Structure 1
Amino acid sequence: MRLFVGVDLPAEIKQTLLEFQSKLRQLGVNGSWKSVDNLHITLEFLGELETDKISALTKTITKVANNYKPFGLTMGGLGAFPSLKRSHTLWTAVSGDLPKLNQLKETLHYELKNKAFKLEERQFKPHITLASRPKIDNINLSFVQAKKLGEFMVEELVLFESRVIDGKRVYIDLFSAALD
């Protein structure tokens, strides 16, 4: 099973992001657009794991979630990895209570590592992926780069499975733990 831990987004926020994707398409941006059901914030990518690891994983996620209270985040603007000039991933930024989000991510990372899960060590850059392999050459995106898109509360951690079904990547919510 290909797994990751993240923050799911409320339905109204996903709808706002879907409308933002539509606006970007109208501007001429092309790419492999993320479906509304796949919009989220990744905290830890776990990769391929055997099902016998799920119990330890859900216990760890619950332990971490129980030590945090819900907090607010804001999303908006437009960015790309590695940059807008050479983009392979188009995203909207996450801001708001970033110290709390970073602390939550660090605690999750620490606890999972202590349970011998193999984790990525790259720097955390909170974002919501909108499209992969975007084509944005010669498109003026300056007015959407600072556009505010909405606010939401982080209220739970979610264990997602990433699966390919009928040729499409689908993220399935396997488990969630409410922030205390």
Structure 2
Amino acid sequence: MRLFIGIDIPAELKRSLLSFQSELRGLGVDGSWKSADNFHITLEFLGELDPEVVPIIIESMSLAAKNRRSFKIDIGGLGVFPSYKRPHTLWTGVGGNLTELNQLWEAIRALLVNKSFTLESKKFKPHITLASRPNLKPIDLSSLMTKKLVEFTVKEVTLFESIVLQGKRTYKSLYLARLQ
């Protein structure tokens, strides 16, 4: 099973992200665009794991969420990984209450490490992927760098399974850990 922990986003935000993608296309940006069903914020990519570890992940997520309150974050702006000179991923950023988001990420991570999971050592950079392999040349995107899209309340954390169906990557929700 290919697993990751993330935050699913509400339908209204998914519609805003689709509109943002259309705006980018209208400016001439090309790439492999993500579908609305695949919009999410990844907290921790776990990789290929045996199904038998799922209860341990669920327990860790539940403990991390148990005494945490829901919190607001906002979505907007534009960025790329690794750089604008060599863009691989085009994304929109996550702002607002990053302290709460980082504390949630750190709690989940600490509990998983305590259960002997090996996790990526990358710095946490919350974002929502809009497109892979974007072609950005010679487009001026400066007006979109700080564009605010929407604010929403994070109420739960999701364990996702990443599967390929009919040649398309799909994310299936396996478990929701609700915040207070």
Which bracket does the TM-score occupy, shorter chain normalised? Answer: over 0.9
Distance (Å, rounded) in 2 between the aligned partners of 1:179 and 1:21: 30
1:55-98 residue CA offsets vs partner (Å, 9 max, x unmatched):
11111111111121000000111000112222100000100000
| Partner in structure 1 of residue 19 of structure 2 | 19
| Partner in structure 2 of residue 42 of structure 1 | 42
| Partner in structure 2 of residue 161 of structure 1 | 161
What secondary structure, in the 3-state scheme, does the structure 1 residue paired with 2:103 have? Answer: helix
- Unaligned ranges ≥5, structure 1: none
| Partner in structure 2 of residue 172 of structure 1 | 172
| RMSD (Å), alpha carbons | 0.7
Distance (Å, rounded) in 2 between the aligned partners of 1:134 and 1:110: 34
| Partner in structure 1 of residue 62 of structure 2 | 62
| Cα displacement (A) at 1:101 | 0.5
What secondary structure, in the 3-state scheme, does the structure 2 residue paired with 1:84 have? Answer: coil
| Partner in structure 2 of residue 79 of structure 1 | 79
Match for 1:11: what amino acid?
Answer: A
| Cα displacement (A) at 1:48 | 0.5
TM-score normalised by L of structure 2: 0.98
| Cα displacement (A) at 1:121 | 1.1
- Unaligned ranges ≥5, structure 2: none
Distance (Å, rounded) in 1 between the aligned partners of 2:128 and 2:29: 17
Percent identical pairs in the alignment equals 56
Aligned residue pairs: how many? 180
Runs of 4+ in 1 over 2 A off after TM superposition: none
Query: Is residue 96 of structure 1 aligned with residue 96 of structure 2?
Result: yes
